[in-house]
Structure 1
């Protein structure tokens, strides 16, 4: 079977539940030329090298003329296009914007911001699990871990962090869905996806512009207010950059965490011995180790698709990727590379070596990692501790369409009740 067809199988919806055997086949040829002309890299060491290689750009404006892949018609009238957000830029512009965001986000400049949110995270999780309690005399309840828990929890947290009204969730979720669909490599050509992504980002920017106008002169203790106040180096951030990066943080701040929590609960239910250990609560660092292993074993972001391009010819594993080529880094395949991880297909939170790619690497290492880690640790610990006899209704569950941002669309679980909160 040709390697290009293996990549196409990975993109196909029927293989969403378990792409890992296909990743193993893909790694046999570390660099593959895909049907769309891009190059797919799947081994750990090659991915790490490219994540740190300045010849691999994150700025799509470096790409050559897309020719036949260009949109066949002008985009419809709508909100004006915003400047690229910081993950679509290279140093030094990327570094300037990231410094400003980091200064107002949390550690090391605001070390208390995320720590101060942890009690509220626990309160949100406690309230959501309390709602699982059933009035049914049989005591058996069916819950959807996605809709009833893993989605509303990080949405509430990111809204509080940014200063976004939680009641606006239906509005911004539609825009978030559009951003994710535009990045899906199975939905049209690259140029068309870029056009749709620009439109979706512009709509998010328009939403934030209205939000900030309504709050004019009434700053709060949130990240957006911090960016607008001019605090920190390189401040203030230009308003149009605030809008483009606020939209990114809103989408990325909950979509990936939803998948991480859901993939985590699914994995724990498939490994009841680890679930029992987490439930007992006599290993203080177990939750942290579980989350790190999940980031390696079942990462929410499977690959970085068509958001890297080469500024020069780059030789990788004996293959020359030409200048001006799009590159896909298959993080999930790299994190299960047996050349780097012993028994990579075994879920083992006790493993000593765990240098995963779950948060990417290099200059674009996941900005939200300091928030996603405690969110997921709290969520999985409380689910393990409080749910009585949880069991899967369907395995595998139905999955979301995106092959890159991979996670169950629903995760139905039956429980025999809920233990009281401490």
Structure 2
């Protein structure tokens, strides 16, 4: 039996809760070739260099045919290169923030606070809660639906589709197991249902304008012209999917980290202003997007003593880079006021997540109010059960015992 590489071991579901020992081994070879001809990059300096390198493409059409694969975000801005990417991103961000709507995120703060308070109020009288189901999921999914104009009553439907899509994606040695192949097939079907649901919603807004970003996008005929229908649908999938999934993981991991490290929890109790840098540290420690797998080399790239040949796929291990001891001192320890915390939790360069300010605000409010109002929280199971997905890595459930909810 061939011994598995650290990369393969890090991708096994049994190691989802703690891939970090395997990343430590992986970083000894910063740029590692896989048997299929792709390259894994695991160190901070090399990942940042590639994120800013215009010889690296995000466009699957520029990859060799043997490296094509199903991608739920195909046709969206994260699978485009400049100048096409810049045009479509500009069409989207004009409805989401600066320069056209500079106060949009700040104006959402009262609604985020109201919903956070409501969710915590609903926990009154309980002594055990599932932080994911009762808090980390409903907060960001409700907010993004209101921003986009997605009916709140549709949340249970598309939540199941997205969960199936996540469970169906596997980059590791278990990808060809019969059960995982079944999940993958179902995941492709569910992505199709999500696309059709959003295409129908966009059609409704074309016929009858309504509230939210989707309606604004279909009626936008500004200087750049209207976005093509297929691109609109693809970007709608991205906005709904990424608009809450990463925040769910970030909120859950923030609470998990606090409860694993009582001194961090106590710091936030006594110095609530530390929640702003603290959320950056939680994101560094437990990256919501752990791996990104869609890049490829447009020409030969020399990096860290290795040549990535033209056409080769490149996998960026953000979760490893964010714990690289060459960049972060004591990287496995949470330091709420860590100086110069330039993590890659939201990527960098042209594909930097434009929803990052919203995710930050949601998590800052959620964490601060959890610390202020939840009495004596204790982890019931550590590690908690994790989702199967290696890319959007996060707890499926996070069960916490509490003594009550303060007013």
Normalising by structure 2, we get a TM-score of 0.92
**Structure 2: which 5+ residue stretches go unaligned?**
none
Decide which of 180, 198, 201 is 1:211's aligned counterpart.
201
Residues 206, 219 of structure 2: 8 Å contact kept: no
Deviations 1:300-352 (A, max 9, x none): 111112x0111111111011111111110111111111111111111101111
Q: Which residue of structure 2 lines up, in the alignment, with residue 345 of structure 1?
A: 332
Secondary structure of 1:111's aligned partner: coil
Q: Structure 1 residues 17 and 62 mapped into 2: Cα distance closer, same or farther (>3 Å)?
A: same
Q: Which residue of structure 1 lines up, in the alignment, with residue 148 of structure 2?
A: 162
CA RMSD of aligned residues (A): 2.4
Counterparts of 2:319 and 2:292, CA distance in 1: 10
Deviating more after overlay: 209-218 vs 358-367: 209-218
Q: Which residue of structure 2 lines up, in the alignment, with residue 151 of structure 1?
A: 137
Give how far 1:4 is off: 5.9
1:132 equivalent in alignment to 2:123 = yes
Deviations 1:171-201 (A, max 9, x none): 2123322432454313648xx9999877655
Counterparts of 2:134 and 2:186, CA distance in 1: 30
Secondary structure of 1:235's aligned partner: coil
Give how far 1:66 is off: 1.2
1:116 equivalent in alignment to 2:107 = yes
Normalising by structure 1, we get a TM-score of 0.89
1:180 equivalent in alignment to 2:170 = no
Q: Which residue of structure 2 lines up, in the alignment, with residue 22 of structure 1?
A: 22
Q: Which residue of structure 2 lines up, in the alignment, with residue 74 of structure 1?
A: none
1:251-330 residue pairs with structure 2 within 5 A? 251-280=241-270, 282-284=271-273, 286-305=274-293, 307-330=294-317
Q: Which residue of structure 1 lines up, in the alignment, with residue 83 of structure 2?
A: 92
Secondary structure of 1:105's aligned partner: coil
1:3-18 residue pairs with structure 2 within 5 A? 5-18=5-18
1:38-57 residue pairs with structure 2 within 5 A? 38-57=38-57
1:409 equivalent in alignment to 2:396 = yes
- Paired residue total: 399
Residues 165, 190 of structure 2: 8 Å contact kept: yes
1:234 equivalent in alignment to 2:220 = no
Residues 162, 222 of structure 1: 8 Å contact kept: yes
**Structure 1: which 5+ residue stretches go unaligned?**
72-80, 135-139
